[in-house]
Amino acid sequence: MPKPVELKPLDNYRLFVRYDDGVEGIADLSELAGSGVFSLWNDYDAFRQVRIGSIGELSWSEEVEMCPDALYLMITGKAPEELFPKLRELRHYAGD
């Protein structure tokens, strides 16, 4: 799975993300802002503190992290099975 190599917080809870495979784009996270653990972002300066964590996760604090795969799917419009072919097999077995 591609790993994020660059992050840039933008206005309105959007993130520019560039991955090591050359994919880049903007992910809109505004629907998450203010709910659950993402209430941290009620302080917009906290949203701007995003960084790439030690294992490639997107991190705002020790309590608020996001899997970069989710943003990759959002940016590319791909389905999870396109990035993780084993999911097709699992789905097939689940129907048996």
What is the reported pTM?
0.82
Structure tokens given for 1: 């799975």
Cα distances from 36 to residues 16, 24, 40, 42, 64, in angstroms, run: 23, 28, 9, 11, 10
Full pLDDT tens readout for the chain, 96 residues:
899 999 999 999 999 999 999 999 999 999 999 999 999 999 999 999 999 999 999 999 988 999 999 999 999 998 888 877 777 665 555 555
Q: Residue 69: in which H helix or E strand, if any?
A: helix 68-76
pLDDT of residue 75: 95
| Contact assessment for residue 30 and residue 46, using Cβ atoms and an 8 Å cutoff | no
9: exposed, middle or buried (Cβ count in 10 Å: 0-12, 13-18, 19+): middle
pLDDT of residue 38: 94
Backbone angles phi, psi at 32, to 5 degrees: -85, -25
Map out the domains of the chain with their CATH numbers. 4-94 (3.30.2020.10)
Backbone angles phi, psi at 68, to 5 degrees: -70, -20
